[in-house]
A and B are shown apart, each in its own frame.
Chain A
Amino acid sequence: MTLQAERATGAAGAAPSGHERPTATRRRFGRVAGWLGAMPYLLFLAVFLIAPIATNVWTSFQVDGSFSLASMARLFEPQYRDAFMQTIRLSLLTAGAGGVLGLILAWALATSERPKWLRNLVLSFSAVASQLGGVALAFAFVAAIGVQGLVTRMILSLTGWSLSDSIQLASFWGIALVYLYFQVPLMAILMLPAFGALKKQWSEAAYSLGASRFRYLRDIAFPIMWPPIIGALLLLFANSFSAYATAYALAGGRVNLVPILIGFFISGNVMTDDSFAAALVTGMIVIVVAAMGLRTLLERRSNKWLR
């Protein structure tokens, strides 16, 4: 056992020691064993993740059993293009607003020192809130600022202004507001490590060399912080783009969003057209993958600094 473990280390290249000479058969055995060991995991993902997605993409390019771009082309019909534009606008809005507010929250979390309990309370609550969402959050917001909601009635009796008339939950702005509930803490949580990597010595060095606060932010903080900031914004964008449950529970079909549209196609509320439904999904995947791929590229860059 000891020997085997040591040889495995050598074969893996973790410790390139001179007197280690793995024979060809042993190396081949290692490779086969590796594939065999990973096989259950790979098979599982192949059946339940890769195959469904591949089938979906394949279907979106098939009309009546032959290759066709017709379904994908239909994505540009006004009704569906509008859905994509609405979803993109919603995602940009919630990522942008959530990003700015989340950045402020992250700054407060990263730099606050004195009341430790307060910081920890906000931190743990941010962690939970960034995970909330879905149906429960939607109903909680209905209870707060819906037509009969607690806050609505309170404001109405205090000022006579009806909140629910101005911000309807079952509308674009209502959905955006609810999304912010998880986007802001998510941004804060994502940005915390980056703030932590901004070493205090850098600002001290800059100030002692006579830099102003603005100069420090422009020449030192910003160049280091922008890749993680953009990366986090892209994640927020993807997050909001692919959200379904919250929007559905809030608005049903009243807002023209891509995930809700796809939901209607799948549950058969509108005419069944497998190929076109699949094309909608493919369009959605392309956008989310683009956002997340860009994030990965940026992260490679930012990892240089955030060690």
Chain B
Amino acid sequence: MAALDTPAGAKPLSGRRRPRVTGAAQATIFAVALILFFTPLVASAAFGFTLPGKGFTLDSLDVAVQNTSFLPQLSSTLQLAALSTLASLLLLVPTLLFLHLRAPRMLPLTEWLSVVPYVVPAIALVSGANLFFRNMAPGFLVSTYSLVPFYMVLTLPLVYRTLDAGIRALDIRTLFAASASLGATPLQTLARIILPNLRASMLGASLLSCALVLGEYALASLLLHSTFPVFMVQVGMNQPRAAAALSFLSIVVTWLLLAALSGASAKRTRKSGPARSTRQTSKDLPTQESTPAEQSSATKGISR
């Protein structure tokens, strides 16, 4: 590029050399980054799935799996993930559709509220929840399912933004008007036009929510519920190899979920390409504008 723009013979050397140096620097940075990224993963796999003098083995995992609390805790985590994802969608999709359609003036308020969990550390939410519900409804925090609303709160910034961006890209007013003029009832429009078009962003929101809930530790452990991450810490106390194996597996699962998300949103970006210019630029997190990978990670994870 530079070589084309500079007058002929002006600075041919630097024009040609700079890209090569830059390219080498970039390649080095990428290589170092990849090595550092992969080291803990490879190490946890190697540490978890081998025993000295035995080579590859699933023994360490066996010990953990045979632990009587493994299956119940895994299943309660999966249930929590499914329930909080479902509940988030049930709460947010109708609310957002209604507000976009009938009361767009409320949107700045709801959007502002949706980023509040972002500035409230998970540990602060635990403390507040403990104090509030112990006084108001002492029995509430006993059930493991009481975690669901708090997980909904923690994932809200991401889920809200994903759904909101999906709806904004659609121009649902026009869709409603157009299908009404063709004789469809609002319900038909909703079922046949709006929801199918929102499938990609609902899927994206679900994957994000699942990925975050599966790794959440602070709330579960401090509200004394046994979920999979809590189990992992217990195991890690005296069986580091089993903990490493479980960590590796759970990182891989998280990775797959987020990769699926990238795939889903890449498809959506391609589909709704021209509509993107109408999307508002968000004031806090970059929405999925340029690269699909950005959206999943534009925030701090709740699992920490």
Real binding pair? yes
Min CB distance B139 to A, Å, is: 15
Min CB distance B259 to A, Å, is: 7
List chain A residues, Cβ under 8 A from B48. 143
A49 and B247 contacting across the interface, CB-CB below 8 Å? no
A8 and B42 contacting across the interface, CB-CB below 8 Å? no
Who on chain A is nearest to B11 by CB? A207
What 0/1 pattern do residues 119 to 150 of A give for CB contact below 8 A with B?
10111111111111111111111111110111
A140 and B248 contacting across the interface, CB-CB below 8 Å? yes
- Interface stretch among A16-24, A71-79, A281-289? A281-289
List chain A residues, Cβ under 8 A from B130. 266
List chain A residues, Cβ under 8 A from B197. none
List chain B residues, Cβ under 8 A from A5. 101, 173, 176-177, 180
Contact residues of B with A, CB < 8 Å? 1-2, 5-6, 22-23, 25-27, 29-30, 33-34, 36-37, 39-44, 46-48, 91-92, 95, 98-99, 101-106, 109-110, 113, 116-133, 135, 149-150, 152-153, 156, 173, 176-177, 180-181, 185-186, 211-212, 215-218, 221-222, 224, 229, 232-233, 236, 240, 243-244, 246-248, 250-251, 254-255, 258-259, 262, 281, 283-284, 286, 289-291, 293-294, 296-298, 300-301, 303-304
| Contact flag A242-B293 (CB < 8 Å), given A122-B33, A144-B39, A292-B118 | no
A34 and B102 contacting across the interface, CB-CB below 8 Å? yes
6 residue pairs of the A-B complex, CB under 8 angstroms, read A1-B177, A5-B176, A34-B105, A238-B300, A259-B123, A292-B119
CA of A192 to CA of B288, assembled, Å: 12
**Residue in contact with B30 in the complex, picked from A8, A119, A266, A274, CB distance below 8 Å:** A119
The main secondary structure of chain B at its interface with chain A is helix
List chain A residues, Cβ under 8 A from B40. 137, 140-141, 143-144, 181
CA of A112 to CA of B46, assembled, Å: 32
A118 at the interface (CB under 8 A from B): yes
CA of A142 to CA of B242, assembled, Å: 12
Min CB distance A303 to B, Å, is: 7
List chain A residues, Cβ under 8 A from B30. 108, 112, 118-119, 122
> How many A-B residue contacts, CB cutoff 8 Å?
354
CA of A2 to CA of B232, assembled, Å: 56
The main secondary structure of chain A at its interface with chain B is helix
Q: Would you list the 8 A-B pairs with minimal beta carbon distance, nearest first?
A: A34-B103, A52-B128, A242-B121, A144-B43, A143-B47, A134-B303, A1-B180, A245-B217
Min CB distance B122 to A, Å, is: 6
| Contact flag A121-B121 (CB < 8 Å), given A56-B127, A143-B247 | no
